[in-house]
């Protein structure tokens, strides 16, 4: 699964998506073979493939939207949701899977109330599965914002998320205090 309902766009986001997509489309031909290079470039620039961008590409290449969507969901490299401020990647390689990687994934899904491939509505966290990240001795492994977390248990999942929650509260407090001083 690669994510369900698209998240709501933020103010000004749709305009940015449309402008970037139009620019990318201009640089490519309109043949069907251009589809993958186009959506690769959109993802590179925007960090994901927004629905309005896929619709725009379908119109430009004169192909059904569902074709663009099928290609985007077929290849693992494409993501349909914006990356969260914190990116959580749960390793599902063989060693991690054997050591309970799916339990770790379940714990994140439950705590964040999203599914694998999705982003929380406040865009704080995105959750995805990755293949072996090369440190099987530490299985099950989770990569959080490029930091490898070793031998992750459901309790550790709570701990990881709690750290971010505390961090966020402290930042909010600092901002409030900063605002009050002005
Ligand atoms: S299988 Fe997870 S690090 Fe290798």
The DSSP bridge partners found for residue 130 are 91
Nearest CA residue ID for atom 1, ligand 1:
93
pTM of the model: 0.82
Is the CB of 36 within 6 Å of ligand 1?
A: no
Nearest CA residue ID for atom 3, ligand 1:
136
Q: Is the pLDDT of residue 177 over 90?
A: no
Q: Is 86-181 CATH 3.30.70.1400?
A: no
pLDDT digits (tens, 9 = 90+) for 127-143: 999 999 999 999 999 99
* Pocket residue to mutate for ligand 1, from 139, 149, 151, most atoms within 8 A of Cβ: 139
pLDDT band of residue 175 (cuts 50, 70, 90) is: confident
What is the whole-number distance in angstroms between the Cα of residue 125 and the centre of ligand 1?
A: 22
What is the whole-number distance in angstroms between the Cα of residue 78 and the centre of ligand 1?
A: 21
Q: Is the pLDDT of residue 3 over 70?
A: no
Would you kindly state where each structural domain of the chain is located, as residue ranges?
13-74, 86-181
Q: What is the residue-wise DSSP string for 19-88?
A: HHHHHHHHTS-SSGGGHHHHHHHHHHHHSS--HHHHHHHHHHHT--HHHHHHHHHHSTT--SSPPPSEEE
**Average pLDDT score, the chain:** 92
């Amino acid at each position: 699964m690669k994510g369900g309902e698209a998240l709501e766009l933020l103010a000004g986001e749709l305009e940015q998506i449309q402008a970037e997509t139009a620019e990318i489309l201009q640089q490519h031909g309109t043949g069907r073979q251009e589809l993958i290079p186009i959506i690769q470039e959109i993802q590179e620039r925007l960090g994901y493939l927004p629905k309005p961008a896929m619709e725009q590409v379908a119109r430009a290449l004169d192909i059904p939207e569902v074709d663009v969507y099928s290609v985007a969901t077929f290849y693992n490299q494409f993501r349909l949701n914006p990356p969260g401020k914190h990116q959580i990647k749960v390793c599902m390689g063989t060693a991690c899977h054997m050591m309970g990687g799916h339990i770790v994934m379940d714990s994140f899904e439950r705590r964040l109330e999203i599914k694998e491939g999705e982003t929380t509505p406040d865009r704080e966290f995105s959750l995805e599965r990755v293949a072996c990240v090369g440190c099987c001795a530490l299985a099950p492994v989770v990569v959080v914002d490029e930091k490898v977390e070793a031998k992750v248990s459901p309790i550790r999942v709570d701990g990881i998320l709690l750290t971010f929650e505390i961090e966020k509260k402290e930042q909010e407090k600092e901002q409030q205090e900063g605002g009050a001083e002005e």
